[in-house]
Amino acid sequence: MLMGVAIGTTVTLLLRRGPRGSRPAGAILAAAGTGTAAAGRWAGRGAKRGATWVGDRGEEIADRLPSLDDVAGEIGEYLSAARETISDTVSDELSDLRKALRKQRKRIGV
């Protein structure tokens, strides 16, 4: 209960209007807004530089990328290897389960 009173008092003091008619939290929000605007300007400049760099070297970058056929082939190889591994694991688990079943049947005489 004491914690609720402390939180309520803090919120009330931050959101109340002061003698000048402004809220104490207003300065915090204004500073946050200024920082956000500055970060947006900085990000815009960085994006412009990055776009210019890519525009200048676009053909060179495109030549370095693998073709879609190469990518599809590699993905196909990975998928087939994964299928084989899963199949081997499942068959091993099934054989182990069958062995355990046989052993249990033998133990109880069925």
Q: What is the pLDDT of residues 23-59, one digit of tens each?
A: 666 666 676 777 777 777 778 888 888 888 888 888 8
- What is the pLDDT at residue 13? 65
pLDDT digits (tens, 9 = 90+) for 86-102: 999 999 999 999 999 99
Do the Cβ atoms of 14 and 24 come closer than 8 Å?
yes
Residue with token string 């990328």: 65
- What is the pLDDT at residue 15? 66
Residue ranges of alpha helices (H) inside the chain are 2-15, 24-64, 68-108
Q: How far apart are CA 16 and CA 20, in angstroms?
A: 11
Q: What is the mean pLDDT of residues 55-65?
A: 82
- What is the pLDDT at residue 8? 79
DSSP 36: H
